[in-house]
Structure 1
């Protein structure tokens, strides 16, 4: 058996070998490869020397493979297909057959608003996909975690993004103001006097990139009293129902929990800017078909 050093083997010889196998003709192989017949014959001669075998012999119907050629055709074809896949960017992503975990950094609002819709779609079209929601990273660590693949996506309100991080707006978040139903407030806009008198339960400021409500009030020389600061949105209606505090929640959460906790929903006393919800990823994974599919799905669920 000939010892062949793959490091010194011209892979073009294997392409010629595969084409000769498929066409059984130097003439047809030269036409398919856009080479002269002499170039194909020369390549075959070099390959015969390296392999120590004739590989093809002339028969009545054309070139016939030797037993050695028959032995290696399968591995050669498979190797060339894999090289082609790598150079073309990998195999096509198929949601129905993939086995993959996507790690998404997000807060409880995103888990409530998007995750159920996301999983409902995945359960019927991509059973091998797992969604792992992880805590929002420190803004300084976000770029590195996205670049390294420690997380695939981040979904949150806008933050300072590092080099190489892309972002796309998913939706705007409408806010509603909640208080005890027993207050007997009329439907519509929340009264400003009560808004500035009653304590509020608020979300932890540093995790949400600042506070739109307090900035807007301060621009009008107004200030609301703060009674409690919590780490997640889901705690807010519970506290409001037990204390009489005011809370401001994204509309989907407000509508879902108001009845359960005997709270009434109102438009805020003044128009607050509606926070944007964005999805972030790293440019390193722009060509990742699986991640493209996940971003499209997240976008659909955010708009639904």
Structure 2
């Protein structure tokens, strides 16, 4: 029954690199600030693990074996990787960043939010790039975030995913928008019952497995909704041919 080989730990890798580079146990000890007996003991362990002498005597001194030289590059790379794991990340500097930032956002932000974001982005990170990805009901933004396809998502969640870190970006009021010819255009305060019983337009949710926040609010108020024309793009409610009510954000109404 064969005996399982001992693992070459970090210390042995450092010794291996030193003796193969210095080609001397004495000089390897000086490089690592270790005594010659300690390096000799480590070399013996390395020979037992690899089954190769690693360092042999030649005409002009000690020389690495062919197998020993084949281990030098991988051992050096492994040590560099270990050092990089312990290194502190450099602080982020937007002015010097070359990174591509990928943001998922709903369509209405193109008008209400995007121009200011682009202006601030270009001023703060002139060498970086910004990619905006539209959200749809068949697009799983949670998977995109986990896999690194998106850096962040802008949205309006009634029940946000628990595993995501959230931050409020801005607040906006939802209003009811009707045309001048609509019966409710001059009725004053509109009740939820009046709204739901009248033909109206409702934007579909931007996220997979999510309900519209308006539908959720109405359901919590125990108000049944009927005669709804769903639209995937909220900006479509401003088309002059629509004669139904809609509930877009106030800021978007003001901009139109």
- Relative to the length of structure 2, the TM-score reads 0.56
Secondary structure in 2 matching 1:39: helix
C-alpha displacement of 1:168: 0.8
C-alpha displacement of 1:210: 4.2
User: 2:79 maps to which residue?
Assistant: 80
C-alpha displacement of 1:88: 5.0
Q: Distance in 1 between matches of 2:236 and 2:78?
A: 56
Q: Distance in 1 between matches of 2:18 and 2:230?
A: 71
The 5 Å alignment of 1:123-142 reads: 124-127=126-129, 130-137=131-138
Preserved CA contact (<8 Å) 2:158 2:216? no
Preserved CA contact (<8 Å) 2:55 2:64? no
The 5 Å alignment of 1:61-210 reads: 66=63, 73-85=72-84, 88=86, 96-97=97-98, 102=102, 104=104, 106-110=105-109, 112-113=111-112, 117=117, 121=121, 124-127=126-129, 130-137=131-138, 145=143, 149=147, 152=150, 153-160=152-159, 165-171=163-169, 172-180=171-179, 191-192=188-189, 196=194, 200-204=200-204, 207-210=211-214
Alpha carbons of structure 1 residues 111 and 18: separation in structure 2 relative to 1, 3 Å? farther
User: 1:29 maps to which residue?
Assistant: 32
User: 1:269 maps to which residue?
Assistant: none
Q: 1:50-86: per-residue Cα shift (whole Å, max 9, x none)? A: 45343899x9xxxx9846678864543223223554x
User: 1:42 maps to which residue?
Assistant: 41
Q: 1:128-172: per-residue Cα shift (whole Å, max 9, x none)? A: x7554442458xx776x368638645432224456x622413232
User: 1:211 maps to which residue?
Assistant: 215
Q: Which has the higher contact order (CA 8 A, sep 6+)?
A: 1
List runs of 5+ in structure 1 lacking aligned partners.
1-6, 184-188, 259-304
Q: Distance in 1 between matches of 2:57 and 2:238?
A: 79
Secondary structure in 2 matching 1:165: coil
- RMSD of equivalent CA atoms: 5.4
Preserved CA contact (<8 Å) 2:103 2:154? no
Preserved CA contact (<8 Å) 1:178 1:247? yes
Preserved CA contact (<8 Å) 1:214 1:223? yes
Correspondence 1:247 to 2:246: yes
Correspondence 1:54 to 2:55: yes
Preserved CA contact (<8 Å) 1:200 1:224? no
Q: Distance in 1 between matches of 2:144 and 2:200?
A: 35
Alpha carbons of structure 1 residues 45 and 243: separation in structure 2 relative to 1, 3 Å? closer
Preserved CA contact (<8 Å) 1:102 1:130? yes
Query: Which has the larger helix fraction?
Result: 1
Alpha carbons of structure 1 residues 254 and 9: separation in structure 2 relative to 1, 3 Å? same
Alpha carbons of structure 1 residues 225 and 74: separation in structure 2 relative to 1, 3 Å? closer
Q: Distance in 2 between matches of 1:135 and 1:119?
A: 26
Preserved CA contact (<8 Å) 1:200 1:228? yes
Count of aligned pairs between the two proteins: 227
Secondary structure in 1 matching 2:157: coil
Query: Which has the larger strand fraction?
Result: 1
C-alpha displacement of 1:30: 3.6
Preserved CA contact (<8 Å) 1:29 1:40? no
